[in-house]
Amino acid sequence: MLTDIATSIAISKSLASTLETMSGKLPKTASLSIRIYKKVPYFAYHRQNDDVYIGFYFQRLVGSASGVYEVLDEETKQQFGDHFASIHGASDTRALVEFDSERGKPVVDHTLFRELISTLSGDSMLGKVKMDELLSRL
C-alpha cells in the first residue's frame, strides 16, 4: 500500500507539471483538486459529468490492481457521491494540487509534497532509494 501511496504522490507531482505546461489549452470548465485525507476511503470514486465509476479496495487487491465498476442507477450514484463528499469534507485543509482553468496555472503546495516525500522516505517506510525511484519514473 505504501508503494501505491508513493505512486499517487508521484502522479500528482507529474500532473501539476503537465497542468503548468497546458495552461490556456484546457477548457474553461477544467478543474482538479488533489487532497490528503484524514479518513481512508474504501473505494475510488471517479465522476465525469453523469458518468460515475467506483473501485473497491480489497485486502488481496489494492490500488491499481482493484476492479472498477460503472454505477448506473441514480440512487446509488447519489449515495456514493454523498459518501465521498463526507470524506472530502474531512480532508486536510491544504490541497496538494489545486487547478481551475479560469485561474490558469495550478497551485502546488510544495511544502506538503516535501512533508509527504520525507515521511515515505523514512527508514520505517519505503526508504529514500525506493521513493526516489518512484518519483523519477514520471
> What's the confidence (pLDDT) of residue 85?
86
Q: What is the dihedral of CA 40, 44, 48, 50, to 10 degrees?
A: -100
Domain locations in the chain?
A: 1-37+92-138, 39-89
Amino acid at 35: R
10 Å CB burial of residue 113 (0-12, 13-18, 19+) is middle
pLDDT value, residue 138: 59
Q: Residue 73's pLDDT is what?
A: 94
pLDDT recorded at residue 43: 73
- Determine the pLDDT at residue 72: 95
pTM score, whole prediction: 0.61
Q: What is the pLDDT along the chain (138 residues), one digit of tens a residue?
A: 677 778 888 888 888 888 888 877 888 888 888 887 766 666 778 888 899 998 876 555 555 566 788 999 999 999 989 988 887 777 767 788 888 877 778 888 889 888 888 888 876 777 777 777 777 775
pLDDT value of position 40: 66
